[in-house]
Amino acid sequence: MADTTEVKKPATEPVLDISDSTVQSKYKEAGRIADDVLDKVIKLCVAGAKIIDICIAGDKAILEATSLVYNKKGKKKISKGIGFPTTVSVNNCVAHFSPLPSDPESEATLKEGDVAKIQLGVQFDGYCSTVATTIVVGANGAVTGAKADVIQAARTALEAAVRMIRPGNKNMDVTKAVDKIAESYEVKPVEGMLSHNQLKNKTDGDKQIILNPTEAQMSGFKRCEFGENEVYCVDILISSGEGKVRPLKTRTTIYKKTDIRYQLKMAASRAVLSEIQTKAGSFPFSLRDLEDERKARMGIVECAKHQTVLPYDVVYEREGAFVAQYLTTLFVTKKGNVMVTNPRFDAVQIQTDKTVKDEEINKILASEWEVPKKQK
């Protein structure tokens, strides 16, 4: 007699990459808000403005804008808000400058001619879109000299990267191309800086692009090929100096919770980690956003020591150097790529007499990269 027992089919796994239109929509909505907030922050970057005030205003604008969407009654509530806190890093400060009120750096102001890098990110339901641009404070007309060279090199390197991150292409080829472009402008990529693929609730996927790596950084670094329907946070940092970074006295204020579990000893540490989980989940956050700054300062030390949080240290190039940054969130698709965020190349005018002379790189820069637009 035949067995008529009904075999239950396994539940279909939800699609979590951009082959799903809902996932795409969340990235794109996050990107739209990130771009809008970036424009607002650019306008705040004037001579005499306090950097802490600009960072606070940027984070507030993200929270206000994200509170207005994905609120339909009957729909499942999703996480939303800051995907990366607003940072404004000036001149030889490479990244992650976002001071707390109790820091001596809270008095730092922008000055005429400062090369300011602005970075921020927005997330919906664990899908994060980040953006960064570089401006020159108070610039009237075209910027020239070392500032122009480093900005143009970073722009050109990002232009090349978004064309080279295609299915089947290799990560180390992007590294080499950025090296060649920097050489054309007589500048250096910032040593060891990484771009990652992104997944739901994960901004540091296993696939990476490294800039200007040392031999030590290359040991254990994974070579990989880019794949269809992947998302990358493509982060280009170029320096007019040696490309080497070091921490100074500026205290770290941005962290991200890791998956490492450890029984923390101090009650303050456990309270901080719990608050981080509630407010930021898997995304980077500023200590400024925690309820009690003093307790946060105490508790975060033990959390960092046992790697339950990852620090985003404030690092610097040598004094007198200028660092430029451009960052976009990129969809990699079969038909072409989509820049989900706009790194605002038009935010500052520059004029340089240097150009890329490498034929292969120029061929890449002249190629198409976008998904073809549908004919109306």
Q: Is 103 helix (H, G, I), strand (E, B) or coil?
A: coil
Q: What's the CA gap between 38 and 59, in Å, rounded?
A: 10
- To which H or E segment does residue 303 belong? helix 293-305
CA pseudo-torsion sign 23, 27, 33, 36: negative
Quick one: which of 324, 320, 283, 256 has its CA closest to 95?
324
Q: How far apart are the first and last CA of the chain?
A: 61
Domains of the chain, residue spans: 21-251+316-358, 254-306
pLDDT given at position 376? 57
Distance between CA atoms of 139 and 143, rounded to whole angstroms?
7
What's the pLDDT at 339? 97
Residue-level pLDDT at 215: 92
Cβ-contact 144, 351 below 8 angstroms: yes
Structure tokens at 141: 């007309």
For residue 63, the Cα-to-chain-centroid distance in whole angstroms is: 18
Give me the pLDDT at residue 194, please.
97
Please, are residues 34 and 122 in contact by the beta-carbon 8 Å criterion?
Answer: yes
Mean pLDDT, the chain cut into blocks of 10 residues (376 residues total): 45 80 97 98 98 98 96 86 98 97 95 98 97 96 96 98 97 98 98 96 95 93 96 98 94 94 92 92 93 89 94 96 98 95 97 95 94 72
How many angstroms separate the CA atoms of 130 and 311, rounded?
18
Give the pLDDT score at 124.
Answer: 97
pLDDT at position 74: 75
> Angle at the Cα of 341 (from 337 to 345), degrees rounded to 5?
100
Cβ–Cβ under 8 Å, residues 86 and 41: yes
**Cα 70 to Cα 63: distance, rounded to the nearest angstrom:** 13
With tokens 């002249």, the residue in question is: 366
pTM for this structure?
Answer: 0.93
Judge: domain 21-251+316-358, CATH 3.90.230.10. Answer: yes
Phi-psi region of 223 (alpha: psi -120 to 50; beta: other; left: phi over 0): beta
> Residue 283 corresponds to which tokens in the numbers above?
């995304």
The CATH topology of domain 254-306 is: Arc Repressor Mutant, subunit A (1.10.10)
Q: What order do you get walking across the sheet with 93-95 strand by strand? A: 93-95, 315-316, 246-247
